[in-house]
């Protein structure tokens, strides 16, 4: 059974009841549904707790997709945790503080790709900071100017929303795809588009804030040269 990805429908869900479907040989816990984002697209998997019926808790260090079956999500416990039984009803509790910082950074990186409209070759999201790598033929990027433009977009208080389109619609609009390294997931017949009202539209399966105002002020902390054409731009929540 594929794990139901509740974070795709509502990134603000911090807990859910769930049923234990299986345990893998390394103690990883598969549930029928999850609010934990699984590692992907440069964003780390969520941490949090699984509360059992008797009130005891299992600390979860990270969340990944099952390498053998990408439709299943594995909650990876920290060392030395008790194990639930398949069939148990549990409550999943997300480490929301950390996730919200990642959502703010993730949404800010969408805006950074508008400020710097170049092909994106990589990226990563941390707890309060993140980066994008751009394929830029000429150097000379101005940190202060990029920061001003980015914060001006954030200050537009633009609504962020998601919708699904078919693969055919995506093929008819190839300009929607900005990332060269991360192709939007294909094969399911539909693709998830993330819209920042009046500013940006691109395929993405990640978690975002509902309005750019929630990002707050962001600083450009560094611009590095990575090879002849690559520029790595780092940002952080101020
Ligand atoms: Zn995104």
Q: pLDDT value at position 113?
A: 94
Q: pLDDT tens digits, residue range 152-165?
A: 999 999 999 998 88
Strand extents, DSSP E, the chain: 4-5, 15-23, 29-31, 33-34, 48-51, 57-66, 69-77, 89-94, 120-125, 129-135, 160-166, 190-196, 200-203, 218-225, 230-237
Element (H, E) at 87: none
- 2 DSSP assignment: P
User: What's the distance, CA 173 to chain centroid?
Assistant: 23
Q: pLDDT value at position 177?
A: 67
Q: How far is the CA of 194 from the centre of ligand 1 (A)?
A: 7
Res. 65: pLDDT tops 80: yes
SS3 74: strand
Structure tokens at 226: 């990575």
Q: Is the dihedral of CA 30, 31, 35, 41 positive or negative?
A: positive
Q: pLDDT tens digits, residue range 19-45?
A: 999 999 889 999 999 999 999 989 999
Q: What is the dihedral of CA 113, 212, 17, 40, to 10 degrees?
A: 10
Q: pLDDT value at position 169?
A: 84
Q: How far is the CA of 201 from the centre of ligand 1 (A)?
A: 10
Q: How far is CA 29 from CA 10, 37, 78, 86, in A?
A: 22, 14, 11, 9
Q: pLDDT value at position 43?
A: 94
Res. 104: pLDDT tops 60: yes
The partner residues of 217 in beta bridges, in order of sequence, read none
Q: How far is CA 61 from CA 15, 28, 70, 124, 204, in A?
A: 16, 11, 19, 19, 24
Q: Is residue 18 packed enough to be buried (19+ CB in 10 Å), middle (13-18) or exposed (0-12)?
A: buried
Q: Are strands 15-23 and 4-5 parallel, antiparallel or unpaired?
A: unpaired
- In the structure, what pLDDT confidence band is assigned to residue 140 with cuts at 50, 70 and 90? confident
Q: pLDDT value at position 178?
A: 63
Q: pLDDT value at position 179?
A: 58
Q: Is residue 91 packed enough to be buried (19+ CB in 10 Å), middle (13-18) or exposed (0-12)?
A: middle
Q: pLDDT value at position 29?
A: 98
Q: How far is the CA of 54 from the centre of ligand 1 (A)?
A: 37
User: What's the distance, CA 113 to chain centroid?
Assistant: 15
Q: How far is the CA of 149 from the centre of ligand 1 (A)?
A: 19
Q: How far is the CA of 150 from the centre of ligand 1 (A)?
A: 16
Q: How far is the CA of 8 from the centre of ligand 1 (A)?
A: 11
């Amino acid at each position: 059974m594929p794990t139901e990805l509740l974070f795709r429908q509502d990134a603000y869900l911090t807990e859910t009841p769930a049923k234990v479907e299986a345990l893998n040989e390394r103690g990883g816990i598969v549930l029928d549904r999850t609010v934990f984002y699984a590692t992907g697209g440069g964003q780390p998997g969520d941490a949090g707790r699984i509360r059992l019926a008797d009130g005891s808790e299992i600390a979860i260090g990270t969340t990944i997709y099952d390498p053998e079956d990408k439709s299943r999500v594995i909650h990876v416990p920290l060392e030395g945790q008790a194990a639930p039984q398949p069939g148990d009803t549990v409550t999943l509790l997300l480490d929301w503080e950390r996730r919200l910082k990642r959502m703010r950074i993730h949404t800010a990186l969408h805006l950074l790709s508008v400020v710097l409209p170049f092909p994106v070759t990589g990226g990563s999201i941390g707890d309060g900071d993140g980066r994008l790598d751009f394929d830029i033929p000429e150097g000379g990027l101005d940190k202060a100017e990029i920061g001003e433009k980015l914060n001006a977009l954030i200050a537009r208080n633009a609504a962020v929303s998601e919708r699904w389109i078919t693969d055919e619609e995506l093929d008819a609009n190839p300009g929607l795809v900005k990332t060269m390294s991360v192709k939007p997931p294909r094969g399911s017949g539909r693709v998830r588009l993330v819209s920042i009202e009046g500013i940006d539209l691109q395929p993405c399966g990640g978690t975002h804030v509902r309005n750019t105002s929630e990002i707050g002020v962001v600083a450009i902390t560094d611009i590095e040269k990575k090879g002849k054409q690559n520029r790595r731009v780092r940002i952080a929540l101020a």
